A = this chain, B = another copy of it.
Amino acid sequence: MKPEVLLSRIRVVLCRPSHPGNIGAAARAMKTMGLTDLRLVTPKQFPDPEADTRATGAVDLLQRAKITATLAEALHGCVFAVAMSARRRDLGPAVGSPRQTMARLLEAAASGEVALVFGNETVGLANEEVLQCQAAVTIPTDPGFSSLNLGAAVQVLCYECRMAAFDGAAPLPEQKATPFAALPATHDEIEGLYGHLESVMTETGFYNPQQPGRLLPKLRRLFGRVGLEKDEVNILRGILAATRQPTGHGRKD
In the complex, the chain B residue whose C-beta lies closest to that of A86 is: B173
The verdict on A163 contacting chain B, using a C-beta distance below 8 Å, is yes
The answer, among B97, B155, B168, B171, for a CB contact under 8 Å with A155, is B155
Residues of chain B within 8 A (CB-CB) of A168 are 99
Q: How many copies does the complex hold?
A: 2
For A31, A99, A159, A179, which residue has the most chain B Cβ atoms within 10 angstroms? Answer: A159
Distance of A40 from chain B, by nearest CB (Å): 20
The answer, among B31, B90, B163, B182, for a CB contact under 8 Å with A178, is B90
Residue contact B32 to A141, C-beta cutoff 8 Å: yes
The verdict on A20 contacting chain B, using a C-beta distance below 8 Å, is no
The stretch from A110-118, A142-150, A189-197 touching chain B is: A142-150
Known interface pairs A149-B25, A152-B152. Does A173 touch B95 (Cβ–Cβ under 8 Å)? Answer: yes
The verdict on A162 contacting chain B, using a C-beta distance below 8 Å, is yes
How many chain A residues touch the partner (CB < 8 A)?
54
Residue contact B95 to A138, C-beta cutoff 8 Å: no
Residue contact A97 to B147, C-beta cutoff 8 Å: no
Residue contact A147 to B180, C-beta cutoff 8 Å: no
The answer, among B29, B147, B163, for a CB contact under 8 Å with A28, is B147
Q: Tell me what chain A mostly uses at the interface: helix, strand, loop, or mixed.
A: loop
Residue contact B97 to A170, C-beta cutoff 8 Å: yes
Distance of A9 from chain B, by nearest CB (Å): 15
Residue contact A147 to B57, C-beta cutoff 8 Å: yes
CA distance A138 to B162 in the complex (A): 14
The verdict on A249 contacting chain B, using a C-beta distance below 8 Å, is no
Within 8 A of B (CB), among A119-138: 138
Q: Chain A, 88-121, contact with B by CB distance < 8 Å: what is the 0/1 string?
A: 1011001111110000000000000000000000
A interface residues (Cβ-Cβ under 8 A, vs B): 25, 28-29, 31-34, 54, 56-58, 86-88, 90-91, 94-99, 138-143, 145-149, 151-152, 155-156, 159, 162-163, 166, 168-176, 178-180, 182
Q: Which 5 A-B pairs have the closest CB atoms?
A: A140-B170, A34-B142, A152-B155, A90-B180, A32-B141
Known: A57-B147, A87-B173. 15 other contacts (CB 8 A): A32-B145, A32-B146, A32-B148, A54-B149, A88-B174, A88-B176, A90-B178, A97-B170, A99-B163, A99-B168, A140-B163, A140-B172, A148-B155, A149-B155, A156-B156
